[in-house]
């Protein structure tokens, strides 16, 4: 898929908003469209190779093992390839990833009445640049809900158990976390830097081959099993656009900021990286207060990483791929420029 500006508004309105959302003074804000396209292509090749490997020998790659493979292995491949690119090599790039077999649960008032409860998202993707002079330029973040394409090339939602989450991701009503380890106050993500519609997206995974991952945006739309989506780009395209600070690729956030969006991103990171995570016992049910966490702290040019976790345990993603995830910490991919 060719890299390009994600037009999520009418062209004249989008140009104005995108111009306001560009980053200035950060290490990689000078990347050209050609540079970003090259980074996207390099990232997508690594991610596709990862999904192909994960699907090898399987009649069908389930959703959870696909997400696990991308978080634990695919992003390391992206980091290794990006570090060989001139601009990124000069700036420096560190990667931290955590795959947790859990997801934070939230509740909110539904537009048609009643209270809805659902996962916030499967994955938080963050790109930090501590060197940026302006606080809003120091972080890009986006929540991603992964879905397998079914049929191929199409994002389809279950009307029974995925309508509620669609209402959350498409309109961002005020919500409250259910777990006590997140601060239990209502959050209005419409407050904060940049356009709130860029806070979350769907990630559509194509069965390997070809094993592609495409990002879809939904905005204030009525629910349909085949939802109206805009601004489709590959996951590599999303990452490279975020790295360059382009409008429409993730949402600006302020580390240690006080607005609801920045605060939520900080708390999600804090809970994932700081809350004790224990490996589930083989064949245990996922509703227990435990999860399997695989943590990679990858700062080496050759891609070596520190792995922590119970390697003898059967990963729950293999044993219970179709069950609902327990309430808990979110999986995280975090790139840091300048390290």
The strand pairing partners of 295, in sequence order, are 98, 308
Predicted pLDDT at 296: 62
Look at strands 139-148 and 175-177 and give their pairing: unpaired
Is 119:104 a contact under the CB 8 Å cutoff?
Answer: yes
**Does residue 80 belong to any structural domain of this protein?**
yes
Predicted pLDDT at 78: 96
**Does residue 35 belong to any structural domain of this protein?**
yes
The strand pairing partners of 252, in sequence order, are 140
Structure tokens at 141: 């973040």
Q: pLDDT tens, position by position, for the chain (339 residues)?
A: 333 345 443 333 233 334 444 555 566 777 889 999 999 999 999 999 999 999 988 889 999 999 999 999 999 999 999 999 888 888 899 999 999 988 999 999 998 899 999 999 999 999 999 989 999 999 999 999 999 998 888 888 998 889 999 999 999 999 999 988 898 899 999 999 999 999 999 999 999 988 999 999 888 778 888 887 778 999 999 999 999 999 999 999 999 999 999 999 999 999 998 865 554 444 333 323 334 455 665 543 333 333 333 322 334 445 444 456 678 899 999 999 987
CA distances from 334 to 95, 210, 272 (A): 6, 26, 11
**Does residue 6 belong to any structural domain of this protein?**
no
Distance CA 207, CA 28 (A): 33
pTM of the model: 0.84
**Does residue 71 belong to any structural domain of this protein?**
yes
Predicted pLDDT at 291: 43
Distance CA 162, CA 58 (A): 26
Predicted pLDDT at 37: 94
Predicted pLDDT at 160: 82
The strand pairing partners of 99, in sequence order, are 294
**Does residue 2 belong to any structural domain of this protein?**
no
- Nearest alpha-carbon partner for 85 in 46, 36, 133, 50: 36
Is 140:336 a contact under the CB 8 Å cutoff?
Answer: no
Q: Decide: residue 222, CB within 10 A, 0-12 exposed, 13-18 middle, 19+ buried.
A: exposed
Q: Provide the number of structural domains found in the chain.
A: 1
| Structural domain of 213 | 11-337
């Amino acid at each position: 898929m060719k890299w390009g500006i994600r037009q999520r508004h009418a062209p004249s309105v989008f140009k104005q908003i995108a111009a306001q959302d560009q980053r200035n003074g950060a290490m990689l804000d000078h990347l050209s469209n050609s540079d970003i396209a090259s980074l996207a292509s390099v990232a997508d090749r690594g991610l596709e190779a990862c999904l192909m490997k994960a699907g090898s020998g399987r009649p069908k790659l389930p959703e959870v093992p696909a997400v696990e493979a991308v978080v634990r292995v695919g992003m390391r491949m992206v980091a290794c390839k990006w570090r060989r690119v001139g601009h990124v090599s000069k700036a420096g790039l560190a990667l931290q990833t955590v795959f947790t077999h859990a997801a934070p649960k939230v509740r909110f008032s539904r537009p048609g009445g009643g209270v809805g409860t659902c996962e916030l998202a499967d994955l938080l993707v963050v790109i930090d640049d501590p060197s940026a002079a302006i606080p809003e330029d120091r972080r890009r973040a986006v929540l991603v809900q992964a879905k397998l394409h079914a049929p191929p090339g199409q994002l389809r939602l279950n009307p029974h158990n995925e309508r509620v989450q669609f209402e959350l991701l498409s309109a961002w009503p005020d919500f409250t976390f259910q777990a006590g380890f997140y601060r239990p106050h209502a959050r209005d993500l419409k407050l904060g830097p940049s356009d709130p519609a860029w806070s979350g997206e769907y990630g559509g995974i194509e069965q390997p081959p070809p094993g592609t991952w495409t990002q879809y945006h939904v905005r204030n739309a009525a629910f349909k099993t085949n939802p109206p989506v805009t601004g489709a780009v590959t996951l590599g395209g999303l990452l490279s656009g975020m790295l360059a600070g382009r409008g429409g690729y993730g949402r600006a956030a302020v580390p240690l900021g006080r607005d609801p969006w920045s605060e939520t991103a900080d708390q999600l990171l804090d809970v994932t990286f700081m809350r004790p995570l224990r490996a589930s016992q083989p064949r245990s049910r996922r509703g227990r207060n435990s999860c399997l966490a695989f943590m990679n702290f990858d700062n080496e040019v050759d891609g070596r990483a520190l792995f922590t976790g119970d390697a003898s345990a059967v990963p729950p993603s293999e044993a219970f791929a179709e069950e609902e995830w327990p309430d808990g910490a979110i999986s995280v991919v975090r790139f840091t420029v300048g390290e």
